[in-house]
Amino acid sequence: MDSSKRSSVIIVGAGVSGISAAKHLADNGIEDIVILEASDRIGGRIRKECFGSVSVELGAGWIAGVGGDLPNPVWELANQTGLRTCFSDYSNARFNIYDRGGKIYPSGIASDSYKKAVDSAIQRLNSDADNIAELPELPKTPIELAIDFILHDFEMAEVEPISTYVDFGEREFLVADERGYEYLLHKMAETFLLTCDGEILDNRLKLNTVVREIQHSRNGVTVKTEDGSTYNANHLILSVSIGVLQSRLISFHPPLPRWKKEAIDKCDVMVYTKIFLKFPYKFWPSGEEKEFFIYAHERRGYYTFWQHMENAYPGSNILVVTLTNEESKRVEAQSDQETLREAMEVLRDMFGGNIPNATDILVPRWWNNRFQRGSYSNYPIISNNLLVRDIKAPIGNIFFTGEHTSERFSGYVHGGYLAGIDTSKSLLEEMKSDNQNEQQPFVLELRGSPNDLHRYDLARQMFMGSNVGMPEAIL
């Protein structure tokens, strides 16, 4: 099936970046757009699922950065739409650390271990990586490994200022709404897409449409999908995840320049897996400062970080354990029953052998999802912004967006939201420039020699990010 109509803009991906980019374009009069989404829903890595009779967030679950001098735009959207949230503070988790015998480490030991881990991380950041003598010892004991996991996978703001908390505030709120975090995206979509009773009916949104090839030239873009369809447009916004870009699910013709591919491949991808367990009744401590607890094991990250859902959904009897990176990939590759067995062994270490078996388990698989290939970008703290800018830089009429293109807020929902707006602004400027050039078609022909025209063509390609290369001066 071919789509003969040529659009102004094709947007690939209907996550928060794609939807915010599309909304900003529509708000500025560009409604001739087509959104191609590989899955059967909008939202991307914002995804709810019904589990144990409540809505749980498989992907993004918190609105991070609230209470500061500047308003977090996602927090503002949540307030405008009446999204239900609850305050969440996992800094107290360090005082709820269980050993394998079910005892909680004394607060003094936990505090000392945490301070040691923070000091070690700061020392590593400030040390000369080539001078091994300057580097502190790596964590070895179970409590050191557990705190190292919490610090580096959850609380890096303790080590290095994180823009999200510096700009927007240090508080975090867990989304606890039956409509899900994705409700924010649906409310945005309603402003420019035709809907009925909350369902999007607009044929400009193409679900279950997997993009496999993008052909691009100065004359426009042609997109080919897995079902054999073809879509044409003047410009394209690519809002797929950094993991998808690295996986080469989408091929480019002509290929992306080497500097672009190298930048994409340099970005680390964080895999973040929240495993949900439903129980017949609550057997764990709850109340103030008990929402999160930690399991100290000889293996770093082995079912370490736990949370109960009583604050979000009282009486739900649901526990969540978060795994990351290699542990996430390992668990994704095994059966849910094996994961349930491992999780129950850990819980019985902490709370004794008489606790009930879980009645259900839910294991997201972000790494093995070919439309995601991970959870979010993970730039090294010591990296400079040049890497982000290279990933973000357009290639001709292809514009790149997503949380991985946000220089200050990569990895966060508000980073993706703001990146979509920022990318659409850049595209609007490009379209305005193109229109001005079309209105003066004879200037170069009348005044330029063949050599002048050749030099102009090369310069234009460079500034549009073509295969010729992108000079650092304009990044």
One domain for residues 167 and 200: no
Q: pLDDT confidence of 304, banded at 50, 70, 90?
A: very high
Q: 55 in a domain, yes or no? A: no
One domain for residues 110 and 215: no
Task: Give the domain-ending residue among 335, 362, 389.
Answer: 362
**pLDDT tens-digit profile of 43-69?**
999 999 999 999 999 999 999 999 999
Task: Give the domain-ending residue among 362, 396, 414.
Answer: 362
pLDDT for position 114? 86
**pTM attached to this predicted model:** 0.89
pLDDT for position 420? 98
E strand or H helix at 427: helix 413-439
Q: 126 in a domain, yes or no? A: yes
H-assigned helices in 88-194: 107-126, 142-153, 163-168, 183-190
**Residue-range definition of the domain harbouring residue 204:** 2-47+181-267+379-436
**pLDDT tens-digit profile of 365-414?**
999 999 999 999 998 766 678 999 999 999 999 999 999 999 999 999 99
CATH number at 225 reads: 3.50.50.60
Q: Is residue 289 left, alpha or beta, with left meaning phi > 0 and alpha meaning psi from -120 to 50?
A: left
CA dist., res. 467 & res. 460, Å (int): 11
Q: 137 in a domain, yes or no? A: yes
One domain for residues 321 and 245: no
One domain for residues 66 and 152: yes
- Contact of 440 with 55, CB cutoff 8 Å: no
**pLDDT tens-digit profile of 220-234?**
999 999 999 999 999
One domain for residues 165 and 97: yes
One domain for residues 40 and 72: no
**pLDDT tens-digit profile of 237-293?**
999 999 999 998 999 999 999 999 999 999 999 999 999 999 999 999 988 899 999
Percent of the chain topping pLDDT 90:
76
CA dist., res. 326 & res. 269, Å (int): 11
One domain for residues 166 and 311: yes
Task: Give the domain-ending residue among 362, 395, 419.
Answer: 362
Q: The sheet that has 97-98: what strands, in order across it?
A: 97-98, 292-295, 305-308, 318-324, 272-278, 360-362
One domain for residues 412 and 333: no
Q: 52 in a domain, yes or no? A: no
Encoded amino acid at 118, one letter: V
Indicate if the pLDDT at residue 21 is higher than 80: yes
pLDDT for position 121? 78
One domain for residues 285 and 352: yes
One domain for residues 253 and 233: yes
One domain for residues 129 and 66: yes
Q: Which of 56, 87, 275 has its CA nearest to residue 178? A: 56
Write the CB contacts of 102 (distance below 8 Å, at least 6 apart in sequence): 349, 350, 351, 352
Q: 370 in a domain, yes or no? A: no
Q: 429 in a domain, yes or no? A: yes
For the chain, the domain total comes to 3
CATH number at 79 reads: 3.90.660.10
One domain for residues 132 and 233: no
Q: 333 in a domain, yes or no? A: yes
Give the position of tokens 């067995």. Answer: 341
Stretch 78-102: mean pLDDT: 94
Q: Which of 46, 57, 26 has its CA nearest to residue 417? A: 46
Q: 56 in a domain, yes or no? A: no
